[in-house]
A and B are shown apart, each in its own frame.
Chain A
Amino acid sequence: MTEVPRIVRERLQAQAAGEHPDANLLSAFAEHRLADAERVQVLEHLSRCAQCREVASLLARPAEEPQTVIRPQRVERWWKSPVVHWSALLTAAVVVLIAVILGPHRRRPGYSASAPATASRPEPAVVSQAAQEPTSAPSQQPPAAKTEVRKKAEPKTVQPAPAPTAGMLGGVVAARPPRVQAPPAPPTPPPQESARTAGTMQDRAAMPAAKAAPAPSAANEALDVTAAGAPQRENALLMQRAPSAMRVSRSMRWSVSDSGSVQRSSDSGRTWKDVAIAEGVSFRAVSAVGEQVWAGGSGGALYHSADGGEHWSPVPIPGLSRDVIRIEFPDPAHGAVTISTGETWRTSDGGRSWQRE
């Protein structure tokens, strides 16, 4: 690359910057939406202003650029390797299964303690949780016990996503402010979780602040009073206002784009992909509880997927013709769909039947 003389650099740096373009122009510039004349004006300023060049450069940086986080060296701690974890869990499950099948050992006092023997391996929280379950059903018949055993495996899938219970953000960020509050970080999530759309790990840090906020029933007023009365932690106020959302299903997240597409992220929100559901529908709301995903939009369109968004089927609700603007499913069976007129339809059987409120 031909170098330029130093005098050129000096004189480049010497140019007066002038007034700075605002965020509207800079973003439009970054998105190549400016007319030629305006673009030249912005470039003229950028050629003189290092600060705005830095902003423009940051804007051009892709949002999904991976973080430069130094990950812990897994090699050094082999016992924390996922392979070891899963092997240990599998071993524990097999041991328990054998113990159950053999029968005579079921009533051994140390039955529940036998699992903890393997709990000394990695993931003690999960194993101990699994170990607790047999104690609660020592007298159950084998089929139930097998169910218990199967259940033990479930936390394994849940563990990586310590999503809290009710109130996770769904598509159109659900509940009105008074109703849903950002849940506290729960130590053990229940089997059925309200895993609504999009949330971030970081929001967990804000949860204690939200928890300390006024009661949900008065959240609205408290919000206003608080905001008007004294400077508070605005993010805490916003956490109240933001129907919980943000809870961290670390794996799958759902959102709706501004162009009306339903989007899914399987890497904690770093990248998003459009999910093809139906042509001609502008989606406005999405809600997910585990693999059960609901999406609604223009013209009363409502779609359901039972496999995490791989396949979708329309859900006709008689009388539903206006845009679906909100979907709330705190659990797979109970849900509510609200349309643009404010009317709400509820289901208590997973969407098989609906009643208008």
Chain B
Amino acid sequence: MSGPAPIHGRAPAASEPDVSALYRAGSAAEYGLLQQDFARILAEIGAKYLPSAASPRERLEFYRGLRLEELALARGCAAGNEYAWEVFLTRYREKLYDAARAITREDTTSRELADSLYADLYGADLRDGVRRSKLNYYTGRGSLEGWLRATMAQEYVNRYRRQQRLVSLEEKTGDGVQFAAPAAEPAQAADPRLVETTDAALAALPAEERFILASYYLDGCTLAEIARTLGVHESTISRKLEKIARALRLRIMDGLVQRGMSRRQAEEALETDVRDLPVDVGARLAQKTAGTTFLKKEPDS
């Protein structure tokens, strides 16, 4: 087997910890990565996820939590290392097709999805004569298999939603931009106190509870699906949902009363059919396109 093809990059910053042990742990040398290359990769990942004031020890702890061997494998593949590709295909080719089938639940589409991802992973996309592999974006936060599944799932959802937009007769779509449908004429003015109180009640909920509500009431997910996503038992979600719905209703009622409504008025307001409210559905449904990096770094605790 020919020697590894080195990837030359900048030396890691002085604040970066010694990554020699990490380099060995990741078997990066076998995938054609020099230690300085691996250190640079880790530093880039650290810059993305860690606060800038993170100490070397914190960085080291963070790096230790990464999937180092898979990171080295992915980056070795991205660099075109043959052995890395052999290992990658051995491990993941079958699983990728299986994952694609689990996502699409249909053979033809799953194959297209998996093949399309493979093209991106291999770097069929050429820019200035340089092959760019999507594997360069893998950071080792989760397993490589999970990252591959997530990438496929995102692509699948994007395609599906793109098709939905194309068939819509009331919306114009641009590349990555969605325009809202014109708002319907309101049949009745909404009580702003109801909207305000509901917003406040929702904002007071933990993110997880809002996620549960959205998954169940907006997406129609089953309790089992929500439980799987959160890694808890189905009965936990059932209990939480019941509790959240009751607490939310009480909170809104109290909020309306505090804003000057009587109890009876508050109950009536809650029972009002939203279709009578001037809800701009298009604006509600508008989503921003996938932007830049999502993660907001937490300030040092």
A residues near B (Cβ < 8 Å) are 1-34, 37-38, 40-41, 43-51, 53-65, 67-69, 169, 171-174, 176-177, 197-200, 202, 205-206, 227-228, 231-232, 234-235, 237-238, 241-243, 245-246, 253, 255-258, 265, 269-270, 284-285, 325-326, 338, 340-342
Contact = CB atoms under 8 A, between A and B. Distances in A.
Contact of A202 (B111, B219, B225): B111
Interface stretch (B9-17, B94-102, B166-174): B94-102
B89 interface: yes
Contact of A258 (B69, B105, B206, B245): B69
Interface string B229-262: 1010000001001100110110010000000000
Given A20-B290, A172-B87, A243-B86, A202 B107 contact: yes
A45 B132 CA distance: 29
B285 interface: yes
Contacts of A285: 90
A103 B70 CA distance: 65
A29 B230 CA distance: 9
Nearest to B274: A6
Interface of B: 1-2, 30, 65, 69-70, 82-83, 85-87, 89-91, 93-95, 97-99, 101-103, 105-107, 110-111, 115, 118-119, 122-124, 126, 129, 131, 137-147, 149-151, 153-154, 156-158, 161, 194-195, 198-199, 201-202, 206-208, 210-211, 213-215, 217-219, 221, 225, 228-229, 231, 238, 241-242, 245-246, 248-249, 252, 270-274, 277, 279, 283-285, 287-288, 290-296, 298
Nearest to A176: B82
A59 B208 CA distance: 17
Contacts, number: 309
A57 B211 CA distance: 12
Interface centre among B105, B207, B241, B283, by most chain A C-beta atoms within 10 angstroms, is B207
A23 B136 CA distance: 12
B207 A63 contact: no
A11 B199 contact: yes
Contacts of A68: 105
Contacts of B107: 67, 69, 202
A18 B292 CA distance: 10
A25 B294 contact: yes
A23 B207 contact: no
Given A19-B290, A27-B149, A50-B214, 18 more contacts: A2-B249, A5-B249, A7-B194, A7-B272, A8-B217, A20-B291, A27-B141, A27-B143, A43-B207, A44-B207, A45-B294, A59-B153, A173-B90, A200-B93, A205-B111, A231-B124, A258-B144, A325-B87
Nearest to A68: B105
A246 B131 CA distance: 25
A48 B201 CA distance: 15
A255 B94 contact: yes
A253 B97 CA distance: 14
Contacts of A257: 91
Given A12-B210, A47-B210, A234 B225 contact: no
Contacts of B126: 227-228
Nearest to A199: B94
Contacts of A19: 288, 290-294
B124 A65 contact: no
24 contacts: A7-B270, A7-B272, A8-B248, A12-B218, A18-B294, A19-B291, A24-B147, A26-B150, A40-B208, A46-B207, A47-B207, A47-B210, A55-B153, A60-B228, A61-B225, A173-B90, A176-B82, A177-B82, A199-B94, A205-B111, A232-B124, A242-B89, A245-B93, A325-B83
Contacts of B219: 50, 53-54, 57
A238 B91 contact: no
A314 to B, nearest CB: 22
Contacts of B111: 202, 205
A173 B92 CA distance: 11
Contacts of A22: 137, 293-294
Given A19-B288, A23-B150, A67 B105 contact: yes
A295 B199 CA distance: 59
A23 B154 contact: yes
A237 B122 contact: yes
B91 A258 contact: yes
B121 to A, nearest CB: 9
B261 to A, nearest CB: 14
A284 to B, nearest CB: 7
A38 B95 CA distance: 28
Nearest to B243: A2
Contact of B150 (A1, A30, A65, A227): A30
Contact of A32 (B85, B94, B231): B231
A16 B202 contact: no
B103 A58 contact: yes
A173 B231 contact: no
A170 to B, nearest CB: 8
A202 B97 contact: yes
A325 B95 CA distance: 20
Which residue of B107, B202, B211 has the most chain A CB atoms within 10 A of its CB atom?
B211
Contacts of A284: 87
B119 A43 contact: no
B149 A8 contact: no
B94 A14 contact: no
A7 B195 contact: yes
Contacts of A340: 30
A346 to B, nearest CB: 16
Given A4-B245, A62-B102, A235-B119, A258 B143 contact: yes
B81 to A, nearest CB: 12
B286 to A, nearest CB: 8
Given A2-B242, A56-B229, A234-B119, A27 B146 contact: yes
A49 B157 CA distance: 12
Contacts of B298: 37-38
